[in-house]
Amino acid sequence: MLRKILIANRGEIAVRVIRACAEMGIRSAAIYSDADRHSLHVKKADEAYSLGSDPLAGYLNVHNIVNLALAAGCDAIHPGYGFLSENPELASACARRGITFIGPSAAVIARMGDKTEARLAMQQAGVPVTPGSPGNLDSLEEALQCAEQVGYPVMLKATSGGGGRGIRRCDDPMALRRNYERVISEATKAFGRAEVFLERCVVNPRHIEVQVLADHHGNCVHLFERDCSIQRRNQKLIEIAPSPQLDEAQRQYVNGLAVLAARAVGYTNAGTVEFLLDDDGRFYFMEMNTRIQVEHTITETITGVDLVEEQIRIAAGLPLRFKQHEIARRGFAIQFRINAEDPKNNFLPSFGRISRYYAPGGPGVRTDGAIYTGYSIPPHYDSMLAKVIVWALNWDDVLNRSHRALRDMGLYGLKTTIPFYQAILRHPEFRSGCFNTGFLEAHPELLNYSTKRRREDFAAAVAAAVAAHAGL
């Protein structure tokens, strides 16, 4: 088993990995920039090492991180999500220096990170993909010809894209002409590569993804699906497991496709296969994320499987502890990404000091975060502050419990997406369990939520202020 793990990340996912290490008797080493000096992951790790003053460069420097891991006596690196988590160079550097990379091989990361290569691999394996260009596009003229063959609307995408960046919908040739150079520019700036490809746009699909685990002994299982259809500008906001929109036949089919996809590329460790579901009930492969997902929490909640612990065990060479038939799901779980944003002001980031923070609790409620009262949110990183995960036995109960949990959460000093989520929870279409990726765009009235705090919230804030003034 591994003895010490360096966590090449920050914030809540770093805290999550630190907790898994503590339960497994493994020492944890955190890294941090000056901007993150007071972050919770630095306080909770067994050891912490400075990356210097630049808020981003240290987290993105493969060789410095590997050298730091060796100097600290670490025998493994966990990349978390974001930053270098899907960078094959990190996995390759670990292999060269004798460090265990907690994730798939560099070759698999590279293949699945190249969306045209991933599409080709899926086609060869018999996994359905949306019609599109056979490879990367060489010119605007080729893009226009391909779009005519595929049929508008089309999605123009960066080959190395991710996180909702480097992607534009084009409804006609004029839009394609207008966006072609823009997407290339975005791809070059964000991912260092100018390659783009094109595929038919599935209009307002359901976004369904499947969690898989695969070890080095030939075992590969799924842990059911998640519904990520509630999103804004291709950024997920609310995730649900399992999807309330699938029947059992669809569930078995798409979960089977995910295992087929993982086996086809020789996948190991934790991964997520993402699909689009159209109105005719057809699934199309979209991409594979070769890392732990932000929303892994809801899969853990409905299955009882600790995905981060399984990641570490697999990386250490151990076999999966369960077969497919031994994995059962129970109830529904919903995750809310609590972002420091002002939905009423075009989701403008709202960074600053948290004057008071109360995490929600009670039966079926989990909070993953890296914040605390008095913590100042740095403006250099993603706006997500915490994740609230709610579980209940049935759909109606998980909705009601979610509303209660969000109402219980107290986060003062900056604006957040909490009241926006409460408005979504009240919407009859969402409560019916029937929605798609166009839900938020179709319901702009959701932004008309009330900003008035409840009386008990106000009383709690006053009591906290009095106690602080009195030094209690």
Sheet of strand 154-162, all strands in order from the earlier edge strand to the far edge? 165-170, 154-162, 196-200
Is residue 28 scored above 90 in pLDDT?
Answer: yes
| Structure-token pair, residue 425 | 């929870």
Threshold 0.75, pTM exceeds: yes
The per-residue pLDDT for range 282-308, each reduced to its tens digit, is 999 999 999 999 999 999 999 999 999
Is residue 328 scored above 70 in pLDDT?
Answer: yes
Q: What residues are paired with 398 via a beta bridge?
A: none
Q: What is the mean pLDDT of residues 237-257?
A: 98
Whole-number pLDDT of residue 453: 58
Side-chain-facing half-sphere of 384: CA atoms under 13 Å: 22
453 a catalytic residue: no
Q: Does domain 4-102 have CATH number 3.40.50.20?
A: yes
**Per-residue pLDDT band at 186 (split at 50, 70, 90):** confident
Which candidate, 411, 357, 304, 370, places its Cα nearest to that of 19? 370
CB contact at 8 A, 314 and 268: yes
Q: Does domain 131-200 have CATH number 3.30.1490.20?
A: yes
Which candidate, 121, 390, 164, 380, places its Cα nearest to that of 261? 121
Is residue 108 scored above 60 in pLDDT?
Answer: yes
User: At residue 73, what is the residue type?
Assistant: G
Catalytic residue of the set 111, 200, 291, 313:
291
| Domains of the chain, residue spans | 4-102, 131-200, 206-456
CATH number for 206-456 (one of 3.40.190.10, 3.30.470.20, 3.40.50.2020, 3.10.20.30): it is 3.30.470.20
The phi, psi pair for 180, rounded to 5°, reads -60, -55
Q: What residues have CB less than 8 Å from 155, skipping those under 6 apart? A: 167, 168, 169, 170, 198, 199, 200, 201
**Percentage of residues of the chain with pLDDT beyond 70:** 95
